[in-house]
Each structure stands twice: as structure tokens, then as C-alpha cells.
């Protein structure tokens, strides 16, 4: 029921600001910002650790955001489990995707990840996503900055606005989820579920 409410809420409360902040022949920078009213950075941090509750499943490999998990420690993984194919022999292990690796986890103010997200994963790119949470009175100001560089077969001017739009949507979904009672729950690790 919560997931059905998020898209409507996004129409009412989208990020305050999202943009492709810089481009070059070899990369780009995107930023997305959102305000989370009435929540502390600690409360938003707890929501951040539950990507299965706020990440748009359209932007996952399995089509099911419940397969996402975030191991919030240096060297930890923002990963996704893939169910075995329906015709797989019994005992076939689940597959997995590493979306990004955690470089820094400093609750409740900063998480930095490295990874070429989505369609960038198949290119010779490095992407660094920095998520900051800052208190702003009774609110929390959320900023996502994604810096991408290296060699890619796509045109920067084509892919940068698409990546910006997707990350702005994820930041807005996180901000909206953080405002719900479900955000206070302990994260569920899909690795602990049976195949």
C-alpha cells in the first residue's frame, strides 16, 4: 500500500532542485536536492538503509526493489539479488548485481558510494555518488551528487539528463519514504530470505 502512495506523493513533493551540474567529453556531474520536513538526519539515514522501500523497481535488474540491500559500511555493497530463472534446476543459486560499493558511511551525515549505475555499468566509467544529510531547523536537507567519468560509447549530452532524472526521482522517493512511519522499521536484508 505504501508503494502505491509514493507516486502520488511525488507529484505533490518533488525535489527542490535537480540538474546536470557539469559536463565534459569524458563525464558529467548531476545533483538532486530534497527537503524532508519534520525528520532528523538520523531518521532519514534509517530510511536510506532501506532501498527496497523507496527505490523505483523500474530501475532495478530484477524489477523488484525488495531484492535491493545496502550494507552501510566501508566496503559494503548496494546490491541486488536476482531470483533463479523459473526453469532453473533445483538448487540453482540466486544471481546478484553490485550497483555500487560503499566508500564511506558516516551516519547520519554522509554516505559515499562508487559504481557506474544502470546502463553505465557496461562502460569503462567510474561513478561516485555522495549522499549528504544536513539538519535544517526541524527538517533534513538531502543532497545527492553523482560524478561520472571515463570512457563511454554513449554521448554525454544524451545520457547525463537521463541519469539526472533517475537519480532525482530516487532522491525524491527517499525523501517521501522518510516521512512515513515505515521508515522507522529495521532494514530487511533479502540475503536472509530463502531462494
Provide the CATH number for the domain around residue 36. 3.30.530.20
Residue 25, domain member (yes or no): yes
The pair phi, psi for residue 109, each rounded to 5°, is -115, -25
Q: Which regions of the chain are under pLDDT 70? A: 1-16, 193-195
Burial of 151 (0-12, 13-18, 19+ CB in 10 A): exposed
For residue 9, being part of any structural domain is answered with no
Whole-structure pTM value: 0.88
What's the pLDDT at 157?
96
Residue 69 — left, alpha, or beta (φ > 0 → left; ψ -120 to 50 → alpha)?
beta
Residue 88 maps to a domain: no
| pLDDT at res. 17 | 75
The parent domain of residue 166 ranges over 17-83+93-187
Number of domains in the chain: 1
Task: Retrieve residue 93's grid coordinates.
Answer: 543459486
Residue 70 domain-assigned (yes or no): yes
Within-domain flag for 76: yes
In a domain, 157, yes or no: yes
pLDDT given for residue 103 in this prediction: 98
Amino acid at each position: 500500500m505504501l508503494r502505491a502512495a509514493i507516486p502520488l506523493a511525488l507529484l505533490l513533493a518533488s525535489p527542490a532542485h535537480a540538474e546536470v551540474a557539469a559536463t565534459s567529453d569524458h563525464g558529467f556531474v548531476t545533483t538532486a536536492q530534497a527537503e524532508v520536513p519534520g525528520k532528523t538526519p538520523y531518521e532519514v539515514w534509517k530510511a536510506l538503509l532501506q532501498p527496497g522501500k523507496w527505490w523505483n523497481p523500474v530501475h532495478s535488474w530484477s524489477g523488484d526493489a525488495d531484492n535491493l540491500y545496502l550494507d552501510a559500511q566501508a566496503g559494503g555493497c548496494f546490491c541486488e539479488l536476482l531470483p533463479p530463472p523459473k526453469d532453473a534446476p533445483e538448487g540453482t543459486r540466486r544471481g546478484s548485481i553490485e550497483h555500487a560499493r560503499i566508500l564511506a558511511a558516516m551516519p547520519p551525515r554522509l554516505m559515499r558510494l562508487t559504481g557506474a549505475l544502470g546502463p553505465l555499468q557496461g562502460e569503462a566509467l567510474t561513478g561516485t555518488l555522495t549522499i549528504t544529510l544536513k539538519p535544517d531547523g526541524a527538517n533534513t536537507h538531502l543532497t545527492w551528487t553523482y560524478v561520472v567519468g571515463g570512457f563511454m560509447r554513449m554521448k554525454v549530452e544524451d545520457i547525463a539528463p537521463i541519469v539526472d532524472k533517475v537519480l532525482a526521482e530516487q532522491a525524491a522517493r527517499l525523501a517521501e519514504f522518510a516521512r512515513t512511519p515505515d521508515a522507522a522499521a529495521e532494514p530487511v536484508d533479502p540475503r536472509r530470505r530463502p531462494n
